[in-house]
Chains A and B, each alone.
Chain A
Amino acid sequence: MIKVEHLSKSFGDLKVLDDVSIDYRPGICNMVIGASGSGKTVFLKTLIGLIQPDAGSVSYNGKDLMAMGFREKTRFRQKIGVLFQNSALFDFATVLENVMFPMDFFTDWSRSEKKDKAEYCLERVNVKDAENKYPNELSGGMQKRVGIARAIALDPAYLFCDEPNSGLDPYTSILIDQLVSELTKELGMTTVINTHDMNSILEIGDNIGFLYGGKMIWKGDRHSIFHTECKELRQFVCANSLARNIIEQDGAYKD
């Protein structure tokens, strides 16, 4: 369980996050949605402690992340898996070495144990054939899959995905979404996904928060999104033709 309370962050005069509060539960796909530049990535990076907020708190099962010391935070981060927007795979390592990287640091397993675990993770995301390739030899979708394999290598309790399907074709996007959703349920992780992709939202959005101008102005799920009174969210949803069709058929947003 992640509890975000009154989170605020500014860069100079620009207020990027303004008093954001939300709870995230385990075993479901929690989503942060919003247009480009609405503060989603800053919000996600603040949740995982890469950006220090100006005010507010983020607590993981009651433990305040901001109050943790350097060593405690370092230990805690081993429970967090992150899939970055551009996958952030290490250029200097092969796919297998990328997945083994966190195990090299934080386990005392033998090389064969680490290799077995890495191969299991790669198999789980369907890229086992690419284990000896370097990241620049992979397609965007494969890089995302390897990124997910690396994120789940140490069986994290929390998974954060920053726009997991940006730059991917619709079919690969859906596969990535389904993979994240399956892993979330299977491992019982608390997953938070940053996205502006309506297909993803409609596919796996169980608990959604809509960021607009730095404020979390709407909370709900993928079903209630079509019946919202929030004007800004309606505009955001109606930008997608698939969602527009559903709305027209359902007769939602009549006013």
Chain B
Amino acid sequence: MNFIDYFRMDFLSFLNVMIRRFLMNIGRYVLFLKMVFRRPEKWKIFWKQLIGETDKLVLSSVLLVSVISVFIGGVLVIQTASNMQNPLLDRMYVGYMVRESLVLEFCSTMVALILAGKMGSNIASELGSMRITEQIDAMEMMGVNSACYLALPKILAATLFSPFLMLLSFVLGIAGGWCVVYLTDIIPLAKYIAGLKYCFNGFYIFYSCFKMSLFCFMISSIAAFNGYNAKGGSLGVGSSGTKSIVTSCILILMFDLIVTQLMLY
């Protein structure tokens, strides 16, 4: 069904089609996860794959996350300082607000949105091209559970090791802010450091790590699902990558709201 066909329908038929398609996709996603989370045929191969995927998905994202975090940390300091000119507000609060912004939202949600592009397109295009060149069929024909072999190490690597990216992003964001304070003297350095230490709540680190894990699970599993079910040649591979990124971004923002409500209030 193409875009124009939707305009020809009446509203109820349109709703009917959309709901059916949505429920069908959820069902297929759940069945896909059921295939993925089976016991690996050979543990030795699985561990090797897990290490490889951790390198490919997580370690290769370190540079991207580092660069973004340093600059965002610096920008946050400048923006917060320029919006807190009231003499009644202690300049220490700039450091405090930068730390809270980083730990609560930037290091998990923003980094996850960035990773949705990098990790999601990587996974979807890899599995999609394997699907259209019949490599996945070849694995199935050998009796290998291709979903488990290909997707499980990717999903586990992304879910288990992404909190390290969040911690790295947090540290580098703070460091980026520190650099700006040191170089521009926008606020006294001692005030910035005092603000960073002020009212520190360790639970926020756990909350942020948890969010990051959850988001990376969603990114990797949705991308794997779309790539694994890619159809229609190179266009299908491209569309599976786009679908993965769009779906992941929407779900990340939705679940951000849900998890925040559940864990912080």
Whether B134 pairs with A86 at a CB distance below 8 angstroms is yes
Whether A91 pairs with B135 at a CB distance below 8 angstroms is yes
Residue of B at shortest CB range from A80?
B141
Given A77-B142, A102-B142; A50-B137 close (CB under 8 Å):
yes
Chain B residues, Cβ within 8 Å of A80: 141
Given A78-B143, A88-B133; A105-B42 close (CB under 8 Å):
yes
Q: How many Å from the CB of B28 to the closest CB on chain A?
A: 15
Whether B134 pairs with A88 at a CB distance below 8 angstroms is yes
Whether A84 pairs with B134 at a CB distance below 8 angstroms is yes
Within 8 A of B (CB), among A45-74: 45, 48, 50, 73-74
Given A104-B42, A105-B41; A88-B143 close (CB under 8 Å):
no
Residue of A at shortest CB range from B38?
A70
Chain B residues, Cβ within 8 Å of A90: 135, 138
- Asked whether A75 is an interface residue with its Cβ less than 8 Å from the other chain, the reply is yes
Given A74-B145, A106-B143; A84-B138 close (CB under 8 Å):
yes
Chain B residues, Cβ within 8 Å of A218: none
Whether A77 pairs with B41 at a CB distance below 8 angstroms is no
Whether A105 pairs with B143 at a CB distance below 8 angstroms is yes
Within 8 A of A (CB), among B135-169: 135, 137-138, 140-145
Whether B143 pairs with A82 at a CB distance below 8 angstroms is no
Residue of B at shortest CB range from A79?
B143
- Asked whether B183 is an interface residue with its Cβ less than 8 Å from the other chain, the reply is no
- Asked whether B4 is an interface residue with its Cβ less than 8 Å from the other chain, the reply is no
User: With the chains together, A71 CA to B130 CA distance in Å?
Assistant: 23
- Asked whether A38 is an interface residue with its Cβ less than 8 Å from the other chain, the reply is no
Q: How many Å from the CB of B210 to the closest CB on chain A?
A: 32
Residue of A at shortest CB range from B138?
A88
Whether A78 pairs with B142 at a CB distance below 8 angstroms is yes
A-B contacts, 23 of them at CB < 8 A, read A48-B141, A50-B140, A50-B141, A77-B141, A77-B143, A78-B143, A82-B137, A82-B141, A84-B138, A85-B134, A88-B137, A89-B135, A90-B135, A91-B130, A91-B133, A91-B135, A101-B142, A102-B142, A102-B144, A105-B45, A105-B144, A106-B142, A106-B143
Q: Across chains A and B, which 10 residue pairs bring their CB atoms closest together, nearest first?
A: A77-B143, A88-B134, A88-B138, A74-B143, A82-B141, A84-B134, A78-B143, A102-B142, A88-B135, A105-B41
Interface residues of A (CB under 8 A from B): 45, 48, 50, 73-78, 80, 82, 84-86, 88-91, 101-102, 104-106
